[in-house]
Amino acid sequence: MIANNGRLKIAIQKSGRLTDDSVSLLRACGLEFEFQKQSLYSPCRNFDLDILALRDDDIPEYVQDAVADLGIVGENIVREKRAQVETITKLGYGHCRLTISVPQRSTIRTVGQLNRKRIATTYPSTLKQFLRSQKLKAEVIELSGSVELAPTLDVADAICDIVSTGTTSRMNGLRPLHVVLPSEAILIANRETMKNPAKKLLVDRLFIRISGGLQARGKRYMMMNAPSSAIPRLKRIIPSLKSPTVVPLAEEGMVALHSVIGEDVFWDVMEKLKRAGASDIVVVPIETIIK
Ligand code: PRT
Ligand code: ZN
């Protein structure tokens, strides 16, 4: 049932690894709201949107059942719950991978050798689907947590669990064997919401803001002065998305060049630009890029 007050509802994780980044993402979209972990609803003051704080495991189903129109949750949870929802976009945070690992001393070296072995997991559905796809018969042992302890307790020969830095695995004497599913936070939508013109309009407005922030991520805006004679040289150095904007300056024979640049290459490029004749180089952060 879609609540009919016309406002969108977006579900985000109440308290956990995705919470801070999800709140920051919504704030970066210009949304004004108080977010309190204790309260279920946080209404936005300047957009027809209410934020619902929920356990991440419940989000896919609540979006599927229209308790919320939208949700931000790990792809791993959406897959595991087999939720019938629409994925709108990946969000670039909460990166991790659902991984099959075995004890360091295990003789299992290939996925094929998992046949007839015991694998402990909190992701039974995704694991079973993977085993079927590999035509493997293994016993899936469903646990509710602390999966990494299962081999030590001799409850399992392998585990299938979320890995991020890999520290937990290493500390428990496990080595990765196979990545079943790479995952990150994604924005999902209820299918009926996307067919409702008024709600779809709100979703589109929100999506433009979110993708603007995603486009701007890792990019800076760079401005510099240079003699016009240096333009061809400078243009070759700047790996911008489009050709840089060139603006004439009041001083005869001088121009200003503006360009978007990736922060990963910025220092290298800046040194080259200086050597090629650029001066007064100013670099500023970009909040959003609307295409
Ligand atoms: O209370 P609630 O049910 O909402 O939260 P939760 O405790 O179930 O989930 P939470 O907050 O731990 O994770 C939310 C989402 O973050 C997950 O569904 C993933 O999409 C994503 N994510 C990213 C992770 C990790 N990184 C991660 N490292 N989820 C879990 N982990 C676990 C991992 O299983 C391991 O046990 O963190 C531990 C440390 O990982 P390493 O490899 O960095 O040592
Ligand atoms: Zn959870």
Helices (H), 40-153: 59-64, 75-81, 124-133
Nearest-CA residue for ligand 1 atom 1 is: 55
Give the separation between CA 184 and CA 181, rounded to whole angstroms: 10
Helix, strand, or coil (residue 181)? strand
For residue range 226-243, what is the model confidence (pLDDT) as tens digits? Answer: 999 999 889 888 875 567
Give the separation between CA 136 and CA 130, rounded to whole angstroms: 9
Cβ < 6 A, ligand 1 pocket: 13, 16-18, 55-57, 74, 76-77, 94, 96, 161-168, 183
Give the separation between CA 136 and CA 180, rounded to whole angstroms: 14
Domains identified in the chain and CATH numbers: 2-93+185-216 (3.40.190.10), 96-183 (3.40.190.10), 219-285 (3.30.70.120)
Give every CB contact of residue 259 below 8 A, 6+ residues apart in sequence. 221, 222, 238, 240, 244, 245
Instruction: Look at 263 and 95; give whichever has higher pLDDT.
Output: 95
pLDDT at 3 over 80: no
| Per-residue confidence (pLDDT) for residue 188, from 0 to 100 | 98
Q: What is the rounded average pLDDT of the residues 9-28?
A: 96
| Per-residue confidence (pLDDT) for residue 2, from 0 to 100 | 42
| Per-residue confidence (pLDDT) for residue 291, from 0 to 100 | 81
Nearest-CA residue for ligand 1 atom 18 is: 74
Q: In terms of Cα–Cα distance, which of 239, 204, 202, 236 is closest to 222?
A: 239
Q: Which atom of ligand 1 is nearest to the CA of 183?
A: 20
Number of neighbouring beta carbons within 10 Å of residue 218: 13
Q: Which atom of ligand 1 is nearest to the CA of 165?
A: 43
Q: Among 15, 17, 97, 167, name the best residue to mutate to test ligand 1's pocket (greatest count of ligand atoms within 8 A of Cβ).
A: 17
For residue range 250-283, what is the model confidence (pLDDT) as tens digits? Answer: 999 999 999 999 888 888 889 999 999 999 999 9
> How far, in Å, from the CA of 21 to the mean position of ligand 2?
16
> How far, in Å, from the CA of 99 to the mean position of ligand 1?
13
For residue range 98-154, what is the model confidence (pLDDT) as tens digits? Answer: 999 999 999 999 999 999 999 999 999 999 999 999 999 999 999 999 999 999 999
For residue range 185-204, what is the model confidence (pLDDT) as tens digits? Answer: 999 999 999 999 999 999 99
